[in-house]
Structure 1
Amino acid sequence: MSNAYDVLIIGGGPAGLAAGLYASRSKLNTILLETNSQLGGQVSTYHEMENYPGVLDTTAPELMDNFKEHAKSFGTKIEKAEVQEVETGDFIKTIKTKDGIKYQAKSVIVATGAEPRRLGVPGEEEFKGKGVSYCATCDADFFVDLEVVVVGNGNSAIEEALYLTKFASKVTVIVIHDQGTMDADKIYQERAYQNDKIEFVWNSTLEEVKGEGLVDTAVLKNVKTGEKTDFSCDGIFIFIGRVPRTDFLEGIVDLTDNGYIKTNDKLETSVPGVYAAGDVRNKFLRQVVTAAADGATTAAAAGGYIEEEEYWQENVLEAEEDVLVAFWSPTNEESLKMTGKLENMDLEAKGVKLVKIDTYKNTRISNRYDVTEVPTLLKIEDGEVAEKITQPTETEIEELI
């Protein structure tokens, strides 16, 4: 199949691009699918980038361009496509796009990130793109010398409010908390308080969006008194968190109640060979640097998974003869003795193939066959377990053969 790859990455943000870089550099045939024409994910919609280690003078879009070029330089193939379905098999996964194209991959890395959360208030959807925005970097230049409202008080909201002051004549931040209390880091709070163009409305939320063709009024509600006020403005920017893009994975991998992907320490999902990186997974810190680290981790884990599975498929499941699988550990003396005996028994002459599995390096195969002690022997016939013996005696080994 021409659309067959070792690793398929869904999402072209920092996590996906870092995964592409590391996977391609490891000589894995890698493709990255991104819904949008512009790579970089949510990061590319910001401007400032001052906390990526070792990079002192760059913008967010510039950094993402560098991520893209770096991944492509090692051979990552990048295509524009929206993934709608992932089918998981024993080893090969099938990925279907909105356009009906099918891809096959031995491992899949989900790096779809999260999109801006909607408030769901009256007028929000109606005025989207007509004064309601979720991206200051994208739309700030439409509001030169105009007055805008920012809803939210986290890092993203305050950072975007500061950016908007470069264009708008006035930026009013709507904060749900008491005066002087915000969720943003102190450094952002201090910058906002010191900016003459920024003002605050405390203990309030956005209740409704109004306008005649374009936004001209934000209806604010005081959360303590319940009083509603018409606030005149030319635009409303909403930054109240994000929602993970995992709709296409419901029922496929384990998700949290909020829709984030659950992962283990190798960032593998509940499905073997399917990994998650970046903002889409359940994690403590969501930053460009942690997304990039996730990408590197998933690429390395995917490479190990592919190597282990290919070896098992080729040497055990697809073997023409019976296979004796010896699970051993270099730190276990009994298992070393067992493998030594097996190697000296001329098994080939008896029509039996010997495969040794180091339980330290090949945890996946050990776990799959519930091998908790070494030495353990499995006899595989036609790809199925015919017999399993833990701590086998010499007599038991002879009988097994």
Structure 2
Amino acid sequence: MKNNTNEIYDGIYDILVIGAGPSGMTAAIYGARAMAKIAMIEKGAPGGKVTKTSEIENYPGFESIQGYDLAIKMFQQTQKFKIPYLADCVMNITKIDNLFKLKLFSKKEVLAKAVIVATGTVERKLCVPGELELEGRGVSYCAVCDGSLYKRKGVVVVGGGYAAFEESLYLARFVNKVTLIHRRDKFRVDNNIVAKVKENPKINLIVDTVITEIKDVSEKRVTTVVIKNVKTAKIEQLTVSAIFPYIGAIPTSGFAAKLGVLDPEGYFIINDKCLTALPGLYAAGDVTNTTLRQIATAVSDGAKAAQFALEYLDSCN
């Protein structure tokens, strides 16, 4: 994917979008169509997590599309509107009077009347051999996104919270077997959902156990997971087609830590207009305190954030 990196504008942007995933690119498109002076700031390749998704079958308009291809299409649309793409990383945001000042990793500073944060999250990793090498090839952090690729196959889910239990029940709808693995024998969920998991004939719950390795056996896709019981030290190998770690995610929001707009976990607290507690500062997509994190919901957030940011700009004139 060719990055269209533009020079930093010396003047004041109407809107700066931090992040160029689905929500960020959507916000930029909506802003550009309204003739706003707008730019995206992204430290990596445009597309975000979409680029790491092997196949997408739940995004309207595409029966099936590779994540990288969808990211390219989104980025190409931003370039149709000649939206600047600034390859940099935001280190800090401050607001002085009615202007936001963003300090970048490159030491440069940019000013904007409104800011839309769409930086997403970073999944907590298992940190075992094979995890990074097989990401997108059987290692997935989104059952809703990729689960249907493993119909009538066996998969592993890792975790002891609501995400792990709920996604295990979701996967059990169409896979042959779900092995839910947790490092302890206590869970961070209520008894009702524990009972549902234990009663489901397709789910096998293994406790006091950790993943030690993920193997591909020369197939370039997940074929085997090595597990170890933390009490007995017994090691086993499970033959599976995919593994879904659900051990938490880290919102990319440290640059806004001093603004008073984050919840205790670091997610942006927004209202139904994607507005934070700070006028002119909006957030969209996975980095917000949302209940569902999907491409479709991210796009929706991006559209709302841009539209209401434009209304904010009109009210300031």
TM-score, normalization by structure 2: 0.73
- 8 A contact 1:30–1:75 mirrored in 2: no
- 8 A contact 1:85–1:96 mirrored in 2: yes
The one of 229, 236, 247 equivalent to 1:231 is 236
Secondary structure of the structure 2 residue equivalent to 1:184: helix
Asked if 1:204 is matched to 2:192, the reply is no
Quote the residue 1:159 is aligned against.
147
Instruction: Give the whole-Å Cα distance in 1 for the aligned partners of 2:23 and 2:134.
Output: 20
Paired letter, 1:189: A
Q: Which has the larger radius of gyration?
A: 1
Distance 1:51 1:13, change over 3 A: same
Identity of aligned residues (%): 26
Give the CA deviation at 1:160.
Answer: 9.2
Instruction: Give the whole-Å Cα distance in 1 for the aligned partners of 2:213 and 2:143.
Output: 27
The one of 47, 51, 55 equivalent to 2:54 is 47
Quote the residue 1:325 is aligned against.
none
Asked if 1:35 is matched to 2:34, the reply is no
Instruction: Give the whole-Å Cα distance in 1 for the aligned partners of 2:269 and 2:64.
Output: 35
Q: Please, which runs of 5 or more residues in structure 2 have no aligned partner?
A: 1-8, 179-201, 215-223
- 8 A contact 1:84–1:98 mirrored in 2: yes
Distance 1:182 1:266, change over 3 A: closer
Q: Please, which runs of 5 or more residues in structure 1 have no aligned partner?
A: 141-147, 166-170, 312-401
Give the CA deviation at 1:278.
Answer: 0.4
Give the CA deviation at 1:221.
Answer: 3.2
The one of 189, 194, 204 equivalent to 2:172 is 189
Cα deviations by residue, 1:316-345 (Å, 9 ceiling, x for unpaired) = xxxxxxxxxxxxxxxxxxxxxxxxxxxxxx
Asked if 1:265 is matched to 2:248, the reply is no
- 8 A contact 2:122–2:252 mirrored in 1: yes
Higher relative contact order (CA 8 A, sep 6+): 2
Quote the residue 1:95 is aligned against.
102
TM-score, normalization by structure 1: 0.59
Instruction: Give the whole-Å Cα distance in 2 for the aligned partners of 1:57 and 1:160.
Output: 12
User: 274-283 vs 243-252, which deviates more?
Assistant: 243-252
RMSD after superposition: 3.5
Cα deviations by residue, 1:285-324 (Å, 9 ceiling, x for unpaired) = 2111111111111111111111211x2xxxxxxxxxxxxx
Distance 1:218 1:205, change over 3 A: farther
The one of 106, 118, 127 equivalent to 2:113 is 106
Quote the residue 1:7 is aligned against.
15
Secondary structure of the structure 1 residue equivalent to 2:229: strand
Distance 1:55 1:173, change over 3 A: same
Cα deviations by residue, 1:266-297 (Å, 9 ceiling, x for unpaired) = 11111110100001011122111111111111
Paired letter, 1:254: V
Paired letter, 2:264: D
The one of 26, 30, 34 equivalent to 1:22 is 30
Give the CA deviation at 1:118.
Answer: 3.3
- 8 A contact 1:83–1:97 mirrored in 2: yes
